[in-house]
Amino acid sequence: MTTKISRLVNLSMFKNEYSWGTAVKENTTDEFHQKFDTALNEVKNDLGKDYPIIINGEKIHLSEKYQVKSPADTNIILGRISNCSKAETKQAVDAAKSAFEEWRSTKYQRKAKVFKECADSFSSKKFHLAALLSIENGKNRFEAIGDVDEAIDFMRFYAYQLELNNGFEKETAHPNPDEKTKVTLKPYGVWGIISPFNFPSAIAIGMTTAALITGNTTVLKPSYYTPISSFKFVEEIYEKIPAGAINFVTGPGDVLGQALMENSDVSGIAFTGSVEVGMACYHKFIRDSVKPFVCEMGGKNPVIVTQFGNLDKAANGVLNAAFGYGGQKCSACSRVYVHKSIYAKFNEMLKNKTSNLKIGLPWKKEVFLGPLIHENAYNRFKKVLEIAKRDGEIIVEGSMLEGPEFQNGYYVQPTIVSQLPHDHELMKDELFLPLICINEYDSFDKVIQLANESEFGLTAGIFSENENELSKFFDKIEAGLLYANRDSSATTGALVQIQPFVGWKKSGITGKGAGGENYLQQFMRAQTQTRCERINE
Ligand code: NAD
């Protein structure tokens, strides 16, 4: 009982950063906007710089560089960054290998301190980091600060976890008093960290922190499109830990990512990205050996709206989950099942709300939806729209946006399509675009089955005030995060510690959630140590 209470007390020491939510609660939203606008001006005055890679504690500028452009306006060059090859990736792994002994044997209290200090430093400049991120990957200001907040949360939460678990070392009680036993979790060695474009702060930092704080050394390879937000973290921390403990390489994902998969000195991989790339990497990495591969992948997340749900709440929840950041979230809602008795009414409400969404430069205060991440996504949207028109019934017909504000970015109007067959490619494949498929249903048991018939299992939502339906939903749905009646977003927006982020099926490999109590243990292996002491002699 005492242990349980002290554990709760300790856990309550962790507090989510939660910037926008706090501003709303404390009635300080004007101040929030003013801070963001000031930071935006600072960032705009600081664009176009050269960014280095970092290997063995040294900043290195390669002569071959590429430009990092804003998807909101490709005339905005955030900076120029080195275009690495397999050779630099190998150097980074070598450096991480050399640094392992010193970092692994550093006391856990010291490791926790480094990350708590880094989190505090990030917190003090979070508006600056969020403004940069908004320009880099096109998130609106609320989503951008959420991304940075989550990175801060990961650093603080993993530090607290490490302290709470005494560095993951504990004595076990042996029935023979002559034997003293303890179990200690130890790091593996060098980890490759491969992160996606859509959370260049939170996910890149979350995975790297988990690997490092548990005593491993790392090579971070961020997304080709969004390296600068991730660089900000490496720049903050690399001089506070042994040279080579964190290395940072940038360039094409297939070249650098494959160099990590092929290098036998890499002991573990933390990957977040698409199922295609993730599964290919997984098979390659473990082909000739047994090594940990912590992997989070895509989703095809369903929402069920029943005749017992509040329709206005449901329409808001679906709208925010489906079109927030243009559907470019693994947790985005992409399939909606509506009871036939309310189907027409719900569609009308969703249509009206969708048509009124404010689309534009993402960093502007009033904008809900910014651009897609790159030309490929933009062209994919065009193609998918044609397929939707050919095979379904269009409720809202999206388009490629034109006009002065849109001409240099990848802006599209969201699309809602209905009546596609259950096994249609748009109903099955992760699109990662602002397009949702809506269908009607008549039996609750059947709709649960339809929701589960997906190779993915990340998030799911329901709108119903009926207790039987809610308990069946929580009992039967095969996904890692379930939400009921959440109008702020039906399927997205998990908070560190409170809502560990778990992928089932092809959405994730380990069944342990990022930001949860079971996450850090994946970066370590247990060792049981027994000493015989003849205490009666
Ligand atoms: P992606 O798979 O294209 O790229 C992910 C990372 O892999 C990038 O760093 C990329 O450079 C690298 N990469 C690309 N080709 C590679 C190769 N051949 N070998 C090794 N590495 C390679 O994904 P993305 O477009 O950056 O991100 C979107 C995807 O990420 C979506 O599928 C989304 O669902 C998923 N995602 C999942 C979660 C989660 O927690 N489950 C969170 C965010 C994003």
> For residue 279, how far is its CA from the centre of ligand 1 (angstroms)?
11
For residues 440 and 459, give the distance between their C-alpha atoms in angstroms, rounded to a whole number.
Answer: 20
Distance 512 CA to ligand 1 centre (A): 19
Distance CA 515, CA 496 (A): 5
- Catalytic residues, by residue number, are 296, 330
pLDDT number for residue 425: 98
pLDDT digits (tens, 9 = 90+) for 85-119: 999 999 999 999 999 999 999 999 999 999 999 99
By most ligand atoms within 8 Å of CB, the mutation choice from 137, 194, 373 for ligand 1 is 194
pLDDT at 535: 59
Q: What is the largest CA-CA distance in the chain?
A: 89
Cα separation, 299 vs 274, in Å, equals: 9
Task: Give the 3-state DSSP-derived string for 457-511, with helices as H, strands as E and coil as C.
Answer: ECEEEEECCCHHHHHHHHHHCCCCEEEECCCCCCCCCCCCCCCCECCEECCECCC
- Counting ligand 1 atoms within 8 A of each CB, the residue from 272, 282, 283, 372 with the most, and so the one to mutate, is 272
User: How high is the mean pLDDT of the chain?
Assistant: 96
371-401 burial, b if ≥16 CB within 10 A, otherwise e? bbbbeebbebbeebbeebeeebeebbebeeb
Per-residue model confidence (pLDDT) at position 13: 84
pLDDT reported for residue 501: 97
Q: How many CB atoms lie within 10 A of CB 229?
A: 30
Measured CA to CA, the distance from residue 29 to residue 23 in angstroms comes to 5
What the chain holds in terms of domains, given with CATH numbers, is: 2-297+508-529 (3.40.605.10), 301-484 (3.40.309.10)
Choosing from 293, 330, 430, 491 the residue with most ligand 1 atoms within 8 A of its CB, the one to mutate for a pocket test is: 330
Task: Kindly give the distance from the C-alpha atom of residue 140 to the centroid of ligand 1, in angstroms, as a whole number.
Answer: 21
DSSP result, 12-66: TT-----HHHHHHHTT-HHHHHHHHHHHHHHHHTTTTEEE-EEETTEEE--S-EE
Question: Which pLDDT value is given to residue 3?
Answer: 47
Question: pLDDT tens digit string along 115-138?
Answer: 999 999 999 999 999 999 999 999
Amino acid type, 416: I
pLDDT tens for 284-321 read: 999 999 999 999 999 999 999 999 999 999 999 999 99
CA distance 226 to 232: 11
- Asked if 136 and 191 count as a contact pair (C-beta separation under 8 A), the reply is no
Nearest CA to ligand 1 atom 23: 273
Is the Cβ–Cβ distance between 291 and 328 less than 8 Å?
no
Print pLDDT tens along the chain (537 aa).
444 444 444 445 899 999 999 999 999 999 999 999 999 999 999 999 999 999 999 999 999 999 999 999 999 999 999 999 999 999 999 999 999 999 999 999 999 999 999 999 999 999 999 999 999 999 999 999 999 999 999 999 999 999 999 999 999 998 998 999 999 999 999 999 999 999 999 999 999 999 999 999 999 999 999 999 999 999 999 999 999 999 999 999 999 999 999 999 999 999 999 999 999 999 999 999 999 999 999 999 999 999 999 999 999 999 999 999 999 999 999 999 999 999 999 999 999 999 999 999 999 999 999 999 999 999 999 999 999 999 999 999 999 999 999 999 999 999 999 999 999 999 999 999 999 999 999 999 999 999 999 999 999 999 999 999 999 999 999 999 999 999 999 999 999 999 999 999 999 988 999 999 999 999 999 999 999 987 555
Q: How far is the CA of 227 from the centre of ligand 1 (A)?
A: 13
Atom of ligand 1 nearest to the CA of 298: 34
Q: DSSP per residue over 269-331, as a string?
A: EEEES-HHHHHHHHHHHTSSS---EEEE----EEEEE-TTS-HHHHHHHHHHHHHGGGG-STT
Protein residue closest via CA to atom 5 of ligand 1: 273
Give Cβ neighbours of residue 60 (< 8 Å, ≥ 6 apart).
Answer: 52, 53, 54, 82, 88
Read off the pTM.
0.96
- Name the residue at shortest CA distance from atom 37 of ligand 1: 297
Tell me how far the alpha carbon of residue 340 lies from the centroid of ligand 1, in angstroms: 37
Residue nearest to atom 35 of ligand 1 (CA): 273
Task: Tell the residue nearest (CA) to atom 16 of ligand 1.
Answer: 254
Amino acid making up residue 77: I
Q: What is the pLDDT of residue 478?
A: 98
Closest ligand 1 atom to 261 CA: 20
Instruction: Specify the 3-state DSSP secondary structure of 202.
Output: helix
Distance from Cα 274 to the centre of ligand 1, integer Å: 4
Question: Which of these, 369, 37, 331, lies nearest to 202 by C-alpha position?
Answer: 331
- 130 SS3 class: helix
Cβ atoms of 187 and 215 closer than 8 Å: yes
Atom of ligand 1 nearest to the CA of 296: 41
Give the residue, out of 198, 276, 459, with the most ligand 1 atoms within 8 A of its beta carbon, to mutate for a pocket test.
Answer: 198
In ligand 1, which atom is closest to the CA atom of 275?
A: 32
Which residues form the pocket of ligand 1, taking CB atoms under 6 Å from any ligand atom?
194-199, 203, 221, 223-224, 253-254, 257-258, 272-274, 277, 281, 296-299, 330, 430, 432, 458, 501, 503, 507-508
Which residue's alpha carbon is nearest to atom 26 within ligand 1?
196
